[in-house]
Structure 1
Amino acid sequence: GAALDISDAYLSYLRASSSLNGAGQVTVHLMVDDLAALGTAKLQVGKPLEIQLPKGTSAVKTIFKGDITTVGFRSFGAQQSNMIIVEGLESSHRLASASEFKAYLKQKRSDIAKAIAGRHGLATSEIKTTDPQEPYLLQHGNDFDCLSEMAAEIGFEWFVAEGKLYFREQGSEQPVTLKPSDDTLLSVSVRYTGTPVASAVKVHGWNPATQEVFTGAASKVGSPGALLNSDASFVTTNYGKAKTAFGKDLEVATMPTPAKASADTRAGAVARTMIGSGLALEGETYGNPDLRPGTYLKLQDLGSAVDGKYYLTEVVHEFTQSSDTRTLFYSSGHRPEKATDTRSSTEQWAGSLVIGVVTNLKDDENLGRVKVKFPTLGGTTESNWARLVSVGAGNQYGFDVMPEIGDEVVVGFEGGDTRFPFVLGGLWSGKNKHPDTTARDNGKVKKRLWQSVAGHKIVFGEDSGTAATFGITMQTKSGKAKLDLTDEKITLEADGGNEMVLKAGGSEITFGKNGALAIKCSSLKIDAQQAIDVKTSGGDVSLKGVNVKGEGTAGFEMKGALGKVESSGPLTVKGAIVQIN
């Protein structure tokens, strides 16, 4: 924009900082006689702000470009000047005010970075696409945090500069050389700390389709190269010494990874943070606009052990009335702005739901508990006894569906404490199949069911279009014993080779294997409002009892091709008229 033109104003203080770990910031103090300048259109929140420093004798270079976010003043009394205070944030701060809830299918995190850049009018030429494609990614918050989270997951850095979104592993621009012999280097302090360090970094993942553990590994632990943030021999040598003295294989409990390529990338991100954290550098030079985060500083003439390149993560340009412009520079490792990082600590891992595979059902206390192993911890570490979350569980009641050994389950931890796990439920997968693939059709649920390990099941038919599929069915694995309940009828069925027995008290009805029906009871009463028809097509009908009585209120008739009436004692035939033909 145009230069800030305020009469009788002079600059008393300037501090402009930029960092790989957050939006750049600037503070400006202007001394004025009249505070009326605060009313000018250029000094308002939301207005653009650009700071430039001299480069050489005639050129200038931008060190900050963003927005005014704060304006204020300080008065020192009637006889003294007043101070106008202006603060601003580099334009990436706008990303924190823009949120998006969107799912990305079969895309890379760099693809999401490009989408974010497009929404904010940023060029994408510095977005590197070396990261692996993921089957599913979800943005569920503001663009700033999304970029920070994605960068941490894959070992990238991100920042905004010169109208571009940088999303990459590490910069490779030509370094700026500083040396004491020509007064370009005023001071520098460098330290290398050899802890923490690992000889290998591994991340375990879980493939639900095959129910197998896979392992990703960081490829640059042995030869870290740029990850050390310096090629100076004292840094590279001491890293090697530290790895030999302290290095062990580090297996990281991290967030889920869908494939080995993703696990390799995640392990690399953990290694990058660990390796880069060893170097700490801070120094000072005269105002130099060429120094900025994401570039290399080259130190010379300090000695062969320390001469070399150093990667800058933060740069501060500072001006005061009492001194020339100074540039402070720092290197402090790869530390993303957002604390969601790689979720590699036990607390972060245990604070989320994780996958478990059941290993033990022998609960000596008979509390319905199980033990599980955790695929993301390598698949060998076993949990404490985990209680089951069951529907309606209470004192000797509730729905008990105990998982089997080898079942995949979802595990949580009470208060994030791994000593107190609980199992929320089981999961289906490509290997652990759903019990009925016909339960859904054309996006609609046709039936709901519960099926035991043996194959017995209860089915709730939800398809109201047909009577046959709208009701409740209970059956054994083979289907030879089956109960159907519909609005039209109730059917209790046993296969022809099976016997079915109904018992109540001392009464019993038996449906025999050969089709016979037997009724056994202390007494039997049949009461019909209309006719009773007893008929056999090929056998005899026999009635037998201590006394057998037959009575018709209107008539009584017995008929057969042959007839016989016989009594072993007296026989009485009685009627108003008795006719014998």
Structure 2
Amino acid sequence: MPFDFYDSELSQFDDIQRRTQRLGLTLARVTNIKDPENKNRVLCKPVAADDDKTVLETEWCDVIQPLSGKSAGTFLFPCVDDLVLIGYLDGDMHCPYVIGGVWDQKTPAPYTIKDGKNTEYSFKTPTGTEIHIHEEKEKQKVEVKTPKGTSLEIDDEKEQVVVQDKKKKNTITLKLKEGEIEIKAEKKLTMAAGNTKFTLESGGKASLEAKGDVSVKGGSIKGKATGDLELNGASATVKASGKLTLKGASADLKGPAGVNIN
């Protein structure tokens, strides 16, 4: 048998050793996530060989997900420099898989277990978008936060839901126990349904616009203006089933076509 056959086999074996020290479970650092075939694969390099230039990257690794299906499932993908655990299917160096992520000093965990109690659960992206669950008896809380501080908080202890900005100048609060809803806006609050719009402004102005009828009904209705009170319409009717009283320091009744008093 030609010696060049053995040289070829030894060369291939050396290449396997350079790619990974052993074909088992190995800690590795992600080096590349730009898959040329767009198959959501990554390249990794064993951490034991960080300073060894002779150890090559793995081949393209598939990333295992908790759930996968046709255009469905979870999509949790590592970033470059993340520490991961990789393994090889049936010990084949050509079939590497990323099994999961591992925290270390370079990529620390977002929370730390204290006093042997695990009360914090979190899904957090590298830029800071987070779904955080506080799991403490009778104090359960779910919070969704963005990097700029916008948040949605569902508090089981307070029995309320709050949406707010970082400075808490714009908030929506649902007080579930009291049956109350409170909305605050720093500058302007608008509520609309189709062509009907109700607007409140921070300067004290309020307006109601409707293309259809507007009706106000109550046991008693009171209105007061610190300045002028003006009501305009193509026609106007004031009717009382009982006594009608109109008072003023002075009173003028004007009608270009005449005034009738019966």
- TM-score, normalised relative to structure 1: 0.33
Separation in structure 2 between the aligned mates of residue 525 and residue 412 of structure 1, nearest angstrom: 60
Question: How do residues 79-94 of structure 1 correspond to structure 2 at under 5 angstroms?
Answer: none
Q: 1:359 aligns with which of 24, 31, 34?
A: 31
Question: How do residues 350-429 of structure 1 correspond to structure 2 at under 5 angstroms?
Answer: 350=23, 352-376=24-48, 378=52, 380-429=55-104
Residue 446 of structure 1 is matched in structure 2 by 119
Q: 1:434 aligns with which of 109, 128, 143?
A: 109
Residue 5 of structure 1 is matched in structure 2 by none
Per chain length, whose mean CA-contact separation is higher, i.e. which structure has more relative contact order (CA < 8 Å, sep 6+)? 1
CA contact (8 A) 1:388 1:423 kept: yes
CA contact (8 A) 2:59 2:94 kept: yes
CA contact (8 A) 1:496 1:515 kept: no
The structure-2 alpha-carbon separation of the partners of 1:471 and 1:359, relative to structure 1 and needing over 3 Å to count, comes to same
Residue 464 of structure 1 is matched in structure 2 by 137
Separation in structure 2 between the aligned mates of residue 473 and residue 566 of structure 1, nearest angstrom: 48
Q: Relative to total residues, which structure has the larger helix share, 1 or 2?
A: 1
The structure-2 alpha-carbon separation of the partners of 1:511 and 1:418, relative to structure 1 and needing over 3 Å to count, comes to farther
The one-letter amino acid of 2:152's match is L
Residue 217 of structure 2 is matched in structure 1 by 551
Q: Report Cα offsets for 1:441-467 as digits up to 9, x if no partner.
A: 2111120112111122111112226x3
1:580 aligns with 2:253: no
The one-letter amino acid of 2:123's match is W
Aligned residue for 2:73, secondary structure, equals: coil
Contiguous gaps of at least 5 residues in structure 2: 1-13, 173-182, 248-262
The one-letter amino acid of 1:390's match is Q
The structure-2 alpha-carbon separation of the partners of 1:496 and 1:353, relative to structure 1 and needing over 3 Å to count, comes to same
Give the number of aligned pairs.
215
Separation in structure 2 between the aligned mates of residue 525 and residue 567 of structure 1, nearest angstrom: 20
CA contact (8 A) 1:354 1:412 kept: yes
Separation in structure 2 between the aligned mates of residue 571 and residue 400 of structure 1, nearest angstrom: 64
The structure-2 alpha-carbon separation of the partners of 1:578 and 1:562, relative to structure 1 and needing over 3 Å to count, comes to farther
Residue 192 of structure 2 is matched in structure 1 by 520
CA contact (8 A) 1:511 1:518 kept: no
Q: Relative to total residues, which structure has the larger strand share, 1 or 2?
A: 1
Moved over 6 A (4+): 497-501, 535-538
Measured after TM superposition, the shift of residue 483 of structure 1 is: 1.1
The structure-2 alpha-carbon separation of the partners of 1:422 and 1:359, relative to structure 1 and needing over 3 Å to count, comes to same
Question: How do residues 87-236 of structure 1 correspond to structure 2 at under 5 angstroms?
Answer: none
Aligned residue for 1:404, secondary structure, equals: coil
**What's the % identity of the aligned pairs?**
25
Who wins on radius of gyration, i.e. which is larger?
1
The structure-2 alpha-carbon separation of the partners of 1:363 and 1:252, relative to structure 1 and needing over 3 Å to count, comes to closer
Measured after TM superposition, the shift of residue 571 of structure 1 is: 3.0
Contiguous gaps of at least 5 residues in structure 1: 1-249, 255-345, 502-509, 527-534
1:477 aligns with 2:147: yes
CA contact (8 A) 1:253 1:376 kept: no
Root-mean-square deviation over aligned CA pairs: 3.6
Separation in structure 2 between the aligned mates of residue 252 and residue 563 of structure 1, nearest angstrom: 90
Separation in structure 1 between the aligned mates of residue 151 and residue 122 of structure 2, nearest angstrom: 15
The one-letter amino acid of 2:188's match is A
Separation in structure 2 between the aligned mates of residue 496 and residue 373 of structure 1, nearest angstrom: 44
Measured after TM superposition, the shift of residue 556 of structure 1 is: 3.6
1:491 aligns with 2:162: yes
